[in-house]
């Protein structure tokens, strides 16, 4: 049953990951000097990779879009179609259903962010591509953003599963996700270990709220 649920989630959300990954790679190509996205300023050999190029800004923009779209697609669309009742009447606990959904959504989000970071780093590490040195510590901000935006995905998931009548009210967790992300980033800046601890605490709180909402909401 869990395998069928995972396959269902992949069928319904893989296209979001594919579109997001193509956007990521398009921005990476522009940062390496290839005019794949004509509306985005071409970066290239005169820039210092990860430090003064537009990679981080584009990475955050696309990652947030992927996280929000995945979270809402896995929850709000299920409510609109009335498929929550079908899922919850399967011989699987609510906890396992949510775990399968979250595993697929987070897995796709993390994979979509991992590939562009490693691709850009691989290009930057190749000799002759740019006149500046490259060290792996330069990628720290990208990895931090990759981790912190997980909070946005969880907030979008919570927003989609909430029983609020008004769409604006339902999206309140997404508004709070911006503040939570700022708190996480500040913690990372002061002390990376503290940042990881804060991120894990916020993720645990959101997961608890998701489970509580799913257990108490009337899906009929």
> pLDDT tens for residues 12-52?
889 999 999 999 998 888 888 777 666 555 555 456 787 87
CA distances from 182 to 34, 98, 110, 146 (A): 32, 27, 20, 14
pLDDT tens-place string over residues 90-115: 667 777 888 888 999 999 999 999 99
Each domain of the chain, given as residue ranges in start order, spans: 2-216
- Where do the DSSP E strands lie in the chain? none
Averaged pLDDT score across all residues of the chain: 80
Rounded CA separation 51/139 (Å): 8
| pLDDT average, residue stretch 138-149 | 88
Relative orientation angle of helices 172-190 and 140-148, to the nearest 10 degrees:
150
CA distances from 8 to 72, 85, 106, 155 (A): 16, 16, 15, 22
* Residue whose entry in the numeric block shows the structure tokens 């591509």: 129
């Amino acid at each position: 049953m869990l395998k069928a649920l995972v396959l269902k989630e992949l069928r319904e959300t893989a296209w979001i990951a594919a579109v997001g990954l193509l956007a990521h790679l398009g921005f990476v190509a522009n940062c390496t000097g290839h005019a794949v996205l004509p509306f985005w300023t071409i970066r290239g050999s005169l820039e210092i990779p990860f430090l003064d190029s537009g990679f981080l800004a584009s990475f955050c923009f696309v990652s947030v879009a992927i996280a929000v779209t995945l979270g809402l697609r896995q929850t709000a669309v299920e409510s609109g179609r009335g498929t929550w009742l079908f899922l919850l009447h399967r011989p699987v606990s609510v906890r396992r259903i949510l775990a399968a959904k979250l595993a697929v959504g987070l897995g796709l989000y993390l994979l979509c962010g991992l590939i562009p970071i490693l691709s850009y780093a691989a290009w930057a590490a190749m000799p002759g591509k740019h006149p500046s040195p490259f060290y792996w510590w330069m990628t720290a901000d990208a990895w931090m953003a990759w981790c912190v935006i997980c909070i946005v995905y969880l907030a979008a998931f919570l927003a989609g599963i909430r029983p609020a009548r008004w769409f604006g009210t339902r999206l309140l967790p997404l508004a709070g996700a911006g503040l939570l992300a700022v708190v996480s980033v500040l913690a990372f800046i002061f002390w990376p270990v503290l940042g990881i601890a804060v991120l894990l605490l916020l993720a645990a709180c959101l997961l608890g709220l998701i489970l509580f909402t799913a257990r108490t909401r009337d899906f009929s």
